[in-house]
Amino acid sequence: MEDRTAGKQLKDMKGKVYYGEYLAKTDPLGANVPNPVSHVAYGYATQMCVLDKKSGKLECIVAAHDVGKAVNPLSCEGQIEGGVVMSMGYALREQYPIDENCKPIQKYGSLGLFRSHEVPKIKAIVVDKPGLKVACGAIGIGEITSIPTAPAIADAYFRYDGIRRYNLPLTDTPYERKVDMAAKKRFPYRSALVACNGGCRAVQGEEGCTDGCIGCGACVSVCKFGAISLNEYGVAEVDEDKCLACGKCMKVCPQEIIHIHECANYIVVKCSNKSKGAEAKKQCEVSCIGCGICEKTCTAGAVRIMDNHAVIRENMCLSCGMCSVKCPRHAIYDLRGIFTKTK
């Protein structure tokens, strides 16, 4: 074939259009031929998982991939890292239940996806070597990045405790979500939330907050699932993984500060103080003072100041977390601990 670019510089080709097409020869599915060719090129990948000896959590994943010619090595590394993180999810935690009509009944935010602060060290090894005389020698680095991860993790746990695991997500690991999904379907992806962060416990006497949790324990007593406990501040806390959102705790709370919320909306207001700014500051170290910064920050219009404290309308909230970052009193929490620290 004539090389029309021979002897030319880049400036000589400016404004000209070149078109070419390569049709790789492959054999039809089921072809009765020896060594049938099903793909133009074949990649190769191998991965290894290293666990922390004490906690049993993932410490590092090493992923080596033969990509042929690495046209963009940095992009190849990113593809490998992304594939590993995605595969860690379905290997260890993700559950995607559907109803009888095959309709998903779980929201994206509560699938169990790994978040950035939970991802272990990933060492991506790009094996760059000459490939085929097509696509600049690149073999490909797509779906293959997600194939070896789950088997590598399963093998690591077998070497860790001698138990073979055959189902995904893997059971009996530190990442297992202790949820009875059959029961959870009754109240899918909802949980109780206590709108108090316990900062009022730092203030003694008559000036203390009268709107927050009083630590009576009524909610703890009524919960049959062990989902509620009193923390070190004497304030009720809910374990979302155990809560079935039955609402019994909400009904018995004398302060009326427990409500049911969507687990996918993890940006929440942990304060029920209805006093005005200066008074609220005296009553609690981390009370909402109704300053309105969160309302001004929210681009979705999901935050409103009502009764001198912030209220988030979950049906409008995007969970971007900017209100929690901007809150000067730290009354708005990220329950996942990404934007704010959880107590």
List, run by run, the mean pLDDT of 10-residue segments along the chain (343 residues): 69 79 77 83 90 94 93 93 94 80 71 85 92 77 91 96 91 77 52 85 62 92 92 88 88 94 86 90 89 93 92 87 92 85 61
Same domain, 89 and 185: no
Whole-number pLDDT of residue 185: 45
| CA–CA distance, 24 with 41 (Å, rounded to integer) | 10
Looking at the structure, do residues 133 and 247 belong to the same domain, yes or no? no
Token match 């003694």: residue?
Answer: 204
Domain stops at, among 161, 195, 230: 161
Which DSSP helix (H) or strand (E) runs through 81?
A: helix 73-92
Q: What is the pLDDT of residue 16?
A: 81
**Helix, strand and coil in the chain, % to nearest 5:** 25, 15, 55
Are 205 and 141 found together in one domain?
A: no
Cβ-based neighbours of 109, under 8 Å, separated by 6 or more: 263, 264, 265, 266, 319
CA distance 96 to 191: 18
Q: Strand 121-128 and strand 58-68: pairing?
A: parallel
Question: In terms of domains, do 212 and 80 share one?
Answer: no
pLDDT for 113 equals 82
Q: Which amino acid is at 125?
A: I
Residue numbers of the domain that contains 116: 44-161
Does pTM top 0.75 for this prediction? no
The count of structural domains within the chain is 2
- Statement to judge: residues 308 and 229 lie in one domain: yes
List of E strands, 69-189? 121-128
Quickly list DSSP for 187-199: STTEEEEE---SG
User: Do residues 106 and 249 both lie within one domain?
Assistant: no
Q: Give burial (CB, 10 Å; 0-12/13-18/19+) of 103.
A: exposed
Q: Let me know if residue 166 belongs to a domain.
A: no
| 275-278-280 Cα angle (round to 5) | 40
Same domain for 315 and 191? yes
236 and 328, same domain (yes or no): yes
Q: Which amino acid makes up residue 92?
A: L
Q: Assess whether 293 and 212 both reside in one domain.
A: yes
Cβ proximity of 309 and 248 under 8 Å: no
Under 8 Å between Cβ of 19 and 4: no
Q: Is residue 174 part of a domain?
A: no
Q: Return the half-sphere exposure (C-beta side, CA atoms, 13 A cut-off) of residue 15.
A: 2
CATH number for position 152: 3.30.365.10
Q: Are residues 200 and 262 in the same domain?
A: yes
Rounded distance between C-alpha atoms, residue 334 and residue 177, angstroms: 19
Q: In terms of domains, do 281 and 195 share one? A: yes
